[in-house]
């Protein structure tokens, strides 16, 4: 897949974004081995850094926040370098020189932010876990992968038709919002 | 806005920038001034954050499975050879202990042959009951009836007169491994003493078990130890380590 096609598909949403994300993941997998050697990360750490990188790229490009002035591969490798440094910093007492890290925003949380917001992330995950499997699937398709055609969602989930998918989407989103509301009320 | 469904549709349109100017202004007014829709907007954003966290975890897990599978194609191809090696060890162990002259075809025939031999050396080996159970267990193992061998091996482990505990543990671990009871297999192999004559056999199977579960890192640790310490497994461990690289 060319970079131009990848960018177009990530922006397009739905099955194109899913396929482009998977293609991107497979295309640069060699970076994991590179991280094992260069940054002395474990395989799990290198995989985490790499998969977080791909997710960050998918998010930025999908949201239209990638300015396309640099090549997608350069952008991806820069984010990956930052992620590897994050992993090293997590387990090191010596701070990594910040001047070594190129200043390129990728919109995703770095390791420190993730550590501080661990409880918040845990809560966010728990909300979705309270929903049925079909609810989780339809919400992820609609709001993460950008599926907008209810017909397409209905076919993917084996639902009767687009109307059924639309109703389910509304019902599941309301359910999720209600779960969050009740949880926040309990905390007060 | 009059309903939650309408709010959700408008919030979707607002966040995807598909609203007209007037609609945007009206929506922004509602979510900043109207208490009910202001709270709803906060909840909507939280909901989207929750969806993102779940979706990313889901994708990462799928990619992890794909990545681990892609790292071990040679191991998968070697799997039949690895299981053949395991079967050879079981057969050789049976030959050493019972001096099998012929190969019976059924567990009952094997059991009968082993009890015949065992009576001749009863004084050296232990009680008749434990030897009979041991013979039966090995007969079942030779016939690849792993599930059936497990309760017999457990009886041996519970038998205070039976002394070849590590041998029984090894074969019980193999039987658990063959019947997809991975946790129990690991427990059995871990119980084999570090000074036992079967410690490297146990380590080999622990490596295979780890590979079966796509746990490359513990598998490599076992294989590296075998490569340097065990004459029996050194070559095979080296081959597997090469395949894993």
ipTM of the complex: 0.87
Residue B142 has pLDDT above 80, yes or no: no
| CB burial of residue A55 (10 Å; 0-12, 13-18, 19+) | buried
Q: Does B3 touch chain A (CB under 8 A)?
A: no
Please give the pLDDT value at position A98: 43
CA dist., res. A66 & res. A102, Å (int): 16
Residue B48 — very low, low, confident or very high, per pLDDT cuts 50/70/90? very high
CB contact under 8 A, B51 and A29: no
**pLDDT tens profile B200-244:** 888 888 888 888 888 888 888 888 888 888 878 888 888 888 777
Do A175 and A131 touch, CB atoms closer than 8 A? yes
CA B146-B150-B153 angle, to 5 degrees, is 120
Residue A171 has pLDDT above 80, yes or no: yes
Length of chain B: 245
Residue B70 has pLDDT above 90, yes or no: no
Please give the pLDDT value at position A92: 66
State the CB neighbour count (10 A cutoff) for residue B88.
10
Task: Give percent above pLDDT 90 in chain B.
Answer: 18
CB contact under 8 A, B47 and A181: no
CA dist., res. B85 & res. B102, Å (int): 21
Say which of A21, A174, A176 has its CB closest to residue B50: A176
Q: At B98, which helix (H) or strand (E)?
A: helix B73-98
Please give the pLDDT value at position A93: 59
Name the residue of chain A whose CA is nearest to B66's CA.
A26
CA dist., res. B174 & res. B146, Å (int): 8
Q: Which residue has the tokens 């009910």?
A: B36
CA dist., res. B232 & res. B171, Å (int): 18
CA dist., res. B115 & res. B137, Å (int): 12
Q: Give residues with Cβ within 8 angstroms of A178, minimum separation 6.
A: none
Which residues on chain B are in Cβ contact (under 8 Å) with A43? Answer: 216-217
CA dist., res. A176 & res. A163, Å (int): 20
Residue A181 — very low, low, confident or very high, per pLDDT cuts 50/70/90? very high
Do A59 and A108 touch, CB atoms closer than 8 A? yes
CB contact under 8 A, B50 and A180: yes
Residue A136 has pLDDT above 90, yes or no: yes
Residue B145 has pLDDT above 80, yes or no: yes
What is the distance in angstroms between the CA of the first residue and the CA of the last residue of chain B? 60
Which residues on chain A are in Cβ contact (under 8 Å) with B54? Answer: 124-125, 128-129, 136, 140
Please give the pLDDT value at position B111: 40
Structure pTM? Answer: 0.57
Please give the pLDDT value at position B125: 46
In B52-195, which ranges are E strands? none
Q: Does B96 touch chain A (CB under 8 A)?
A: no
Say which of B5, B58, B67 has its CB closest to residue A140: B58
Residue A55 — very low, low, confident or very high, per pLDDT cuts 50/70/90? very high
Say which of A54, A59, A176 has its CB closest to residue B47: A176
CA dist., res. A73 & res. A54, Å (int): 11
CA dist., res. B28 & res. B229, Å (int): 71
Name the residue of chain B whose CA is nearest to A47's CA.
B64
Q: What is the mean pLDDT of chain A?
A: 84
């Amino acid at each position: 897949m060319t970079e131009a096609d990848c960018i177009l598909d990530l922006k397009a949403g739905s099955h194109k974004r899913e396929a482009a994300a998977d293609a991107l993941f497979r295309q640069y997998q060699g970076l994991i081995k590179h991280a094992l050697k260069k940054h002395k990360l474990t395989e799990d750490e290198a995989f985490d850094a790499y998969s977080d990188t791909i997710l960050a790229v998918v998010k930025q490009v999908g949201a239209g926040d990638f300015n396309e002035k640099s090549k997608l591969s350069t952008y991806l490798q820069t984010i990956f370098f930052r992620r590897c440094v994050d992993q090293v910093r997590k387990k090191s007492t010596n701070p990594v020189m910040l001047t070594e890290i190129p200043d390129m925003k990728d919109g995703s949380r770095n390791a420190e932010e993730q550590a501080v917001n661990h409880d918040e992330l845990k809560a966010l995950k728990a909300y979705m876990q309270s929903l049925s499997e079909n609810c989780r699937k339809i919400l992820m398709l609609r709001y993460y992968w950008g599926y907008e055609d209810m017909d397409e969602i209905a076919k993917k989930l084996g639902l009767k038709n687009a109307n059924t998918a639309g109703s389910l989407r509304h019902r599941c989103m309301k359910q999720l919002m209600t779960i969050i509301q009740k949880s926040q009320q309990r905390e007060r | 806005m009059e309903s939650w469904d309408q709010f959700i549709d408008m919030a979707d349109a607002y966040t995807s920038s598909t609203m007209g100017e007037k609609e945007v202004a009206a929506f922004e007014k509602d979510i900043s001034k109207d208490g009910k829709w202001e709270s709803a907007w906060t909840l909507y954003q939280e909901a989207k954050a929750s969806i993102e966290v779940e979706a990313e975890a889901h994708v990462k897990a799928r990619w992890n499975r794909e990545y681990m599978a892609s790292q071990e194609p040679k191991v998968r191809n070697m799997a039949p050879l690895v299981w053949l090696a395991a079967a050879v060890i079981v057969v050789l162990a049976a030959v050493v202990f019972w001096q099998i002259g012929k190969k019976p075809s059924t567990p009952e025939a094997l059991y009968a042959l082993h009890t015949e031999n065992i009576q001749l050396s009863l004084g050296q080996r232990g009680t008749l009951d434990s030897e009979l159970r041991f013979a039966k267990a090995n007969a079942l193992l030779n016939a690849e009836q792993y599930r059936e061998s497990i309760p017999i091996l457990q009886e041996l482990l519970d038998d205070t007169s039976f002394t070849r505990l590590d041998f029984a543990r090894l074969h019980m671990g193999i039987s658990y491994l063959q019947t997809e009871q991975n946790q129990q297999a690991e427990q059995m192999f871990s119980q084999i003493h570090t000074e036992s004559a079967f410690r490297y056999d146990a380590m080999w199977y622990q490596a295979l078990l780890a590979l079966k579960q796509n746990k490359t890192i513990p598998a490599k640790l076992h294989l590296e130890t075998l490569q340097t310490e065990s004459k029996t497994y050194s070559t095979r461990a080296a081959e597997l380590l090469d395949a894993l690289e």
